[in-house]
Amino acid sequence: MRDKLINWALFIGLSLIWGSSFLLMKIGLENLSPYEVASLRILSAGVVLIPFAFRAFKQIPSNKIGFVILSGLIGSFFPAFLFCLAETKLDSALTGMLNSLTPLCAVIIGTTFFKMKTSILKVTGILVGLIGLFFLVSPTGELHLNNFNYILLVILATILYAVNVNVVSRKLGGVGAINTASIAFVFLIIPCLVVLFVSGYFNRSFHQSEIIKSTAAGCVLGMIGTAFATILFYRLVKRAGALFSAMVTYGIPFVAAGWGVVYGEQVTLFQVGCLGIILSGVYLANK
């Protein structure tokens, strides 16, 4: 009983942390550019994971380092920028809902490019999920068509996440999650510092409370929403297994939608219904 309670506590904690990430991005974007917020997120995660990187360098085979760096780029670096760019126009709640497409994209990418076995159930799940996506981004869902390009940015990010899932499962299956994350994020520290320097972040007036608030949001996003959450997720997988851990996917968008309402964003029952359709497709495709 105690073990189950701990597992559910980790599950709920991860749902809350990852579901809150979209609101933190929105807060960061109030006074910083999307490039600065994304860089602060990855940079702060890398700094937190430095202690783990020393051990990871010794444990990861040299022929796997390239895949670890690739995983960091397509699984964290580029998606972070895509999400921040998208949230300059989209509500955080909608972005969180669209993020639920990741498991669906993982099945599509795996079936198309990585020789994953297909089935009628998987195809049905994909079709159901795409129907939910269609209605979510249609004018009926009270979205403006001029935001469609930003919706595509989120979809591209979920595709990159999906590619990363397949790369990790096939090329880094024997490498621990913490080792993978620590090496990947530490490697990304330098590119993030370059982006912050070029963007003029270090020339900002840090005595202004608004800049401090947005900087804090970006750093908390990285330290808690990325680094700490990765460690928690790895812990949950070891305790409860991959299947139970993957169910976090279903909690994240609802937390994001809840924070969106608190933040004053408009979340309609129609959008929640579309999210339910997408998650039904995810369930069928991964059943």
68-90 per-position pLDDT tens digit: 899 899 989 999 999 999 999 98
Alpha helix locations (H) across the chain?
Answer: 2-28, 34-48, 50-59, 65-72, 78-86, 92-98, 102-113, 120-136, 148-171, 177-187, 189-199, 209-222, 229-240, 242-246, 248-262, 269-285
Tell me how many domains the chain contains.
Answer: 1
% of the chain exceeding 70 in pLDDT: 94
* Closest by CA position to 192, among listed 73, 74, 86: 73
pLDDT band at residue 146 under the 50/70/90 scheme: low
pLDDT band at residue 143 under the 50/70/90 scheme: low
Hunting for tokens 């139970």 — which residue is that?
244
> How many other CB atoms are found less than 10 A from the CB of residue 256?
29
What per-residue confidence (pLDDT) applies to 187? Answer: 94
Give residues with Cβ within 8 angstroms of 141, minimum separation 6: 135, 268, 270, 271, 274
Would the pLDDT of 190 be above 80? yes
pLDDT band at residue 22 under the 50/70/90 scheme: very high
What per-residue confidence (pLDDT) applies to 104? Answer: 81
The more confidently predicted of residues 275 and 118 is 275
Which domain, by its residues, includes 83?
2-285
Q: What is the pLDDT of residues 209-248, one digit of tens each?
A: 999 999 999 999 999 998 888 888 877 877 776 667 667 8
Compute the Cα dihedral for 103, 14, 46, 90 and give only its sign.
positive
